[in-house]
A and B are shown apart, each in its own frame.
Chain A
Amino acid sequence: MVQQIFMLSVFLYIAAAFLSLVMNRIYKVANYISAIGTFAAAIAGLVSTIIVLVQGMPFAAEFPRFVPFARFTIEVDYLSAFMILVISLIAAVTAIFTLTYNERYIGKNAGIFGFLNNIYILSMILAVASSNAFYFLVFWEIMTLASYFLVIAKQDKEAINSGFVYFAVAHAAVTLIIFSIIVLYIYAGSFDFSDFRNAEIPQATKNLIFLLSFLGFGIKAGIVPFHTWLPITYSSAPSTVSALMSTKVAIYGLIRIGVDFLGASVWWWGLTLLAFGAISAVVGILYASVEKDLNRLLAYSSTENVGIILMGIGVGMIGFAVEQPVLGTLGMLAGLYHMVNHAVFKGLLFLCTGSVIYRVQTTNMEEMGGLAKRMPWTGFAFLIGALAISAIPPLNGFVSEWFLYQSLFMAGNHSILAVKALSPLFAVMLALTGAIAAMCFVKAYGVVFAGPSRSEHAREAREVPVPMIAGMMLLVVGILVLGLGAPVVAPYIGHVASSLLNTSSPQVSEGLTVYPTSKTQAMLSTPLLFLFLMGLLVVPLFIVWTLRGEKSGRRMDSTPWATGYAYSARMAYSATAFSQPLRVLFHPVYWIRTTLVEVGSKIASYFRQVVGCIDRLESFWENTVYGSLARGTVLLGKRIQDIQLGNVRMYCLYIIITLVILLITTIR
Chain B
Amino acid sequence: MVWFALGSILLPILGSVLVLLIPERHVKKAGQFFSFLAFICGLLLWIGFAENRDSFTRDLLTIGGINLFGITIDTLSVLVNLMVVFIGWLICTYSVGYMNAGNREHPVTEGIPRFYSFMLLFIGSMSGLVLSSTLLGLLFFFEMTGLCSWNLIGFYGDQKSRNSALWAIILTHFAALGLYVATAFVYINTGSFSISALGNLNETEKIIAFGGILLASWGKSAQLPLHPWLPRAMVAPTPVSAYLHAASMVKVGVYIFARTVLEAGAVPQVIGEVGAIMAVLTMVYGFIMYFPQDDMKKLLAYSTIAQLSYIFLAISLSIYGSELAFNGAVSHIFNHAFAKGLFFLVAGALAYTTGTRRLSMLRGILSKLPVIGVGYIAAAMSIVGSPPFSGFFSKFMIILAGFQVGWHQPLILVLMVVTLVESVGSFIWILRWMGVNVFGSPSEAIAGASPTPVSIQVVVGVLILMTLVSQYIVFLLLS
Contacts and interface: CB of A to CB of B under 8 A. Distances in A.
Interface of A: 65-69, 134, 137-139, 141-142, 144-145, 152, 155-157, 159-161, 163-164, 167-168, 171-172, 175, 178-179, 182-183, 185-186, 610-612, 614-615, 617-618, 621-622, 625-626
Main secondary structure of the interface of B (DSSP, over half): helix
B292 A612 contact: yes
Interface string B60-89: 000000000000000000000000000000
B289 A67 contact: no
Interface in B330-366: 364, 366
Given A171-B427, A172-B424, A164 B432 contact: yes
Given A155-B440, A157-B440, A178-B396, A145 B387 contact: yes
Given A141-B392, A164-B435, 17 more contacts: A137-B387, A145-B386, A155-B439, A155-B441, A160-B435, A163-B439, A164-B432, A171-B384, A175-B420, A175-B423, A178-B399, A183-B407, A185-B404, A612-B292, A614-B289, A617-B288, A626-B228
A65 B292 CA distance: 43
A368 to B, nearest CB: 28
B292 A611 contact: yes
Contacts of B403: 179, 182-183, 186
Interface stretch (B2-10, B26-34, B188-196, B471-479): B471-479
Contacts of B424: 171-172, 175
A319 to B, nearest CB: 32
A168 B431 contact: yes
29 contacts: A67-B393, A68-B475, A69-B397, A134-B396, A145-B386, A155-B439, A155-B440, A160-B435, A161-B435, A163-B439, A171-B431, A172-B428, A175-B420, A178-B396, A179-B403, A182-B400, A185-B404, A186-B403, A186-B407, A611-B292, A614-B288, A614-B289, A615-B291, A618-B289, A621-B225, A621-B227, A621-B228, A622-B232, A626-B171
B48 interface: no
Contacts of A139: 387
A47 B475 CA distance: 36
Contacts of A186: 403-404, 407
B428 to A, nearest CB: 4
A240 to B, nearest CB: 19
A65 B392 contact: no
Contact of A141 (B171, B327, B366, B387): B387
A145 B472 CA distance: 20
Nearest to A143: B387
A466 B254 CA distance: 61
B318 to A, nearest CB: 14
Contact of B231 (A134, A171, A179, A618): A618
Interface in B392-447: 392-393, 396-397, 399-400, 403-404, 407, 420, 423-424, 427-428, 431-432, 435-436, 439-441
A145 B381 contact: yes
Nearest to B285: A617
Contacts of B232: 622
Contacts of B440: 155-157, 160
A611 B403 CA distance: 31
Contact-size category for B = 35 or more
A128 B245 CA distance: 38
Given A167-B431, A611-B291, A68 B479 contact: yes
A139 to B, nearest CB: 8
A163 B435 CA distance: 8
Contacts of A621: 225, 227-228
A73 B171 CA distance: 50
B451 interface: no
Contacts of A185: 400, 404
Contacts of A625: 225
Contacts of A164: 428, 431-432, 435
B388 interface: yes
B324 interface: yes
Contacts of B432: 164, 168
A69 B393 CA distance: 11
Nearest to B291: A611
> Looking at B225, B364, B427, B478, which has the most chain A CB atoms within 10 Å of its CB?
B427
Contacts of A626: 171, 228
B394 to A, nearest CB: 11
A626 B228 CA distance: 9
A614 B431 CA distance: 20
B324 A69 contact: yes
A138 B228 contact: no
A614 B292 contact: yes
B468 to A, nearest CB: 12
Contact of B478 (A68, A163, A610, A618): A68
A142 B407 CA distance: 28
Contacts of B404: 182, 185-186
Interface in B216-239: 225, 227-228, 231-232
Nearest to A141: B387
A152 B324 contact: no
Contacts of A159: 439
Contact of A66 (B397, B407, B420, B472): B472
B397 A168 contact: no
A278 to B, nearest CB: 29
Interface in B289-339: 289, 291-292, 324, 327
B387 A138 contact: yes
Contacts of B479: 65, 68
Contacts of B439: 152, 155, 159-160, 163
A66 B331 CA distance: 14
Contacts of A69: 324, 397, 400
